[in-house]
Amino acid sequence: MNAEIVAVGSELLTPFRQDTNSLYLTEKLNELGVDVSFKTIAGDARPHLTLVAQTALSRADLVIFMGGLGPTEDDLTREAVAEALGLELWRDPQILESLGKRFAARNMKMTPNNAKQADILTGATVLANSSGTAPGQWISGKYEGREKIIVLLPGPPHELKRLFEEQCMERLRSKLPPAFIATRVLKVAMMPESQCDARVAPIYRRFTDVTTTILAGAGEIQLHLKARAPELQTAQGRVDRLAGELEDELGDAVFSSQGESLEQIVGYFLQMRNATLAVAESCTGGLLGERITSVSGSSRYFLGGAIVYSNQLKADFANVPEELLKKYGAVSRLVAVALAEGIRERCHATLALGITGVAGPSGGTPEKPVGLVFHALAREAGTEVVERNFPGDRKRIRWFATQQALDMVRRRLM
């Protein structure tokens, strides 16, 4: 079975907004063993919508429409799909009543335009929307002689997700040959994409029954593995075998094999060792702390630290000797060491990170170009430093620097 996802809404045809629901739906459909063959984005113009519905019905077995089910005159998905299928719409008194109740419960008067949300395609099953007003619809039948399933879902992401999970997953599963999908995600820190690919490609190419997708970001490569089989155990065995071989090849560069983020993994290790962490950030300006504290519960191991943007604060908050700053400059190996050691002492932390560098776009010199960053990790037994030259713009360089620093903690605690 192949699917087409149609996102409806004129705002999705502007330079400002993007359909993201389809990423979620694709993941769910893939779990069921359904591939997405086409995605279409259409505005609110009814003739365009009808055309899009006809096209989708002619080329996909399962067509999912998202959006355009609301109460305004621009919400025309129901009408367009009815026209494409040659079906009538009828107003369901039961839905009308529950819409009225919903408004009454909020002490609001239901304006007449809301009634169109009760319009149902003849023969369709109503999919109750437990988090919004517009219900979804499900209809199956023949179109141009072929069996089709058509699903109408509301556009707001939280409504769509809940409705799809509650009402569509099992319905779809029952229409499909039994298929189990097993997935694994390996994440790799601070390895160039070409180097990673050269090492893993010979391995995953041998596993023709596993789909491998490689996604590369700043300082992180993700290997998404997916296998489909009539039995879960078979599918799981396939991804596990490939994951095992990849982990053997990449060794400790793999920081996560179940999808966890680097900041989560660092948090696990710190808790496991009963250790605490502090930071002194110059060029990253708070990003490192932000990433660490994005994990709920991080107060169990993260104490805090200082954003030492000015040299005065490097001295005041992290005890960096002023002669060091004068002699070597703020962006230097020794200042990174002093930052980490100083903030560790000031915060009474088990481990501490210091970062100093040139994030750009301005401020670079021939000796200290944009992208040069020093990362230091201090602990009781001593301090290690890593010097890197990161490519890219300010945002990317700062991200790289925090990735490198977090990875140093991980490797130390591993």
Residues 348-377 that bind its own copies (CB under 8 A): 348, 359-362
As a whole number of angstroms, the distance between CA 339 and CA 318 comes to: 5
Which of 102, 161, 224, 396 touches its own copies by CB under 8 A?
A: 224
Q: Residues 383, 375: contact at Cβ < 8 Å?
A: no
Calculate the dihedral angle through the C-alpha atoms of 133, 134, 140, 143, rounding to the nearest 10 degrees. 180
Please give the angle made by the CA atoms of 260, 264 and 269, to the nearest 5 degrees: 115
Which of 1, 46, 51, 268 touches its own copies by CB under 8 A?
A: 51
User: How does strand 180-189 pair with strand 254-256?
Assistant: antiparallel
User: Hey, which residues between 109 and 168 contact its own copies (CB under 8 A)?
Assistant: none
With contacts defined by CB under 8 A, name the span among 29-37, 68-76, 79-87, 375-383 that binds its own copies.
29-37
Distance (Å) of CA 58 to CA 38, 94, 176, 214, 319: 12, 33, 20, 32, 70
Least distance (Å) between residue 42 CB and its own copies: 6
- Asked if 35 touches its own copies (CB under 8 A), the answer is yes
Our CB check for its own copies shows the closer of 262 and 308 to be 308
With contacts defined by CB under 8 A, name the span among 5-13, 81-89, 237-245, 319-327 that binds its own copies.
5-13
How is residue 390 written in tokens?
A: 């990161």
As a whole number of angstroms, the distance between CA 66 and CA 86 comes to: 20
With contacts defined by CB under 8 A, name the span among 11-19, 84-92, 104-112, 242-250 that binds its own copies.
11-19
Could you check whether the bond before residue 361 is cis, i.e. omega within 30 degrees of 0?
Answer: yes
- Asked if 234 touches its own copies (CB under 8 A), the answer is no
User: Hey, which residues between 254 and 313 contact its own copies (CB under 8 A)?
Assistant: 279, 281, 283-294, 296-299, 302-310, 312-313
Q: Residues 29, 39: contact at Cβ < 8 Å?
A: no
Which of 8, 32, 52, 66 touches its own copies by CB under 8 A?
A: 52
Q: Residues 133, 106: contact at Cβ < 8 Å?
A: no
Least distance (Å) between residue 303 CB and its own copies: 4
Letters for 323-352 (x = contact with its own copies by CB under 8 A, - = none) are -----------------------xxx----
Our CB check for its own copies shows the closer of 248 and 316 to be 316
Query: 140, 151, 141: which is closest to 28 by C-alpha?
Result: 151
Q: Residues 203, 246: contact at Cβ < 8 Å?
A: yes
Least distance (Å) between residue 44 CB and its own copies: 11
- Asked if 40 touches its own copies (CB under 8 A), the answer is yes
Our CB check for its own copies shows the closer of 226 and 379 to be 226
